[in-house]
Copies of this chain bind each other. A is one copy, B any other.
Amino acid sequence: MLSLLPNTLFAIFAVVCSLLLVKAQVLGALTAATRGRLKRFINKEDAEWLGGEHVATDDERVQRIFRAHRNDLENLVPFFIGGLLFLASGASSTAGIAYFCLFLLARFLHTFAYLHDFEVSRLKARLRNATYTLGWLVTIVMGLHAAVVALQSVMS
């Protein structure tokens, strides 16, 4: 089994996490920017400030970006928790690199599937579904893996 210096695995995790948090923050800002572009605001003071309409619910286009963002955070939290426990437990580098890179790939493709206009909508739905499932599986397997290694190191 591959055995990197702990620093190297940590550096990979740091890069993966910072790419993911930048993406999540870009989605957050995109929600606000799209509200501004459509001139429809859910906060009254924004409508007054920027001269738009005050609406009770966001436009469908804003809601879609928001859902992509929300789904990102819902998965980023378990990933970060699991990943940090994994690093701290001192488990295998090979597994760690695989988990981190698979999750990174899955979540960037998930955002792409959510926001890109595909010609065939079935493809769009399938890619979103598959990448969500992949990221989901990584968080669960990695979290349980970390818990098992942490328990083993205590018991031995």
For A91-123 the 0/1 string (1 means CB < 8 A from B) is 000000000000000000000000000100110
| Chain A facing B: main interface SS | helix
Q: Which of A109-156 contact B (CB under 8 A)?
A: 118, 121-122, 124-126, 128, 132, 136, 139-140, 143-144, 146-147, 150-151, 153-154
C-alpha spacing A6/B93, complex, angstroms: 22
Query: Does the CB pair A125–B49 fall under 8 Å?
Result: yes
Task: Report how many residues on chain A are interfacial, defined by Cβ distance under 8 Å.
Answer: 63
Q: Which residues in B have their C-beta under 8 angstroms from that of A78? A: 21, 24-25
Q: Is A46 an interface residue (CB 8 A)?
A: yes
Q: Which of A1-37 contact B (CB under 8 A)?
A: 5, 7-8, 10-11, 13-15, 17-19, 21-22, 24-25, 28-29, 32
Q: Is A73 an interface residue (CB 8 A)?
A: yes
Which residue from B5, B28, B139 sits with its C-beta under 8 Å from A74? B28
Which A residues are within 8 Å of any B CB, using their own CB?
A: 5, 7-8, 10-11, 13-15, 17-19, 21-22, 24-25, 28-29, 32, 42-46, 48-50, 56, 60, 64, 67, 69, 73-78, 80-82, 84-85, 88-89, 118, 121-122, 124-126, 128, 132, 136, 139-140, 143-144, 146-147, 150-151, 153-154
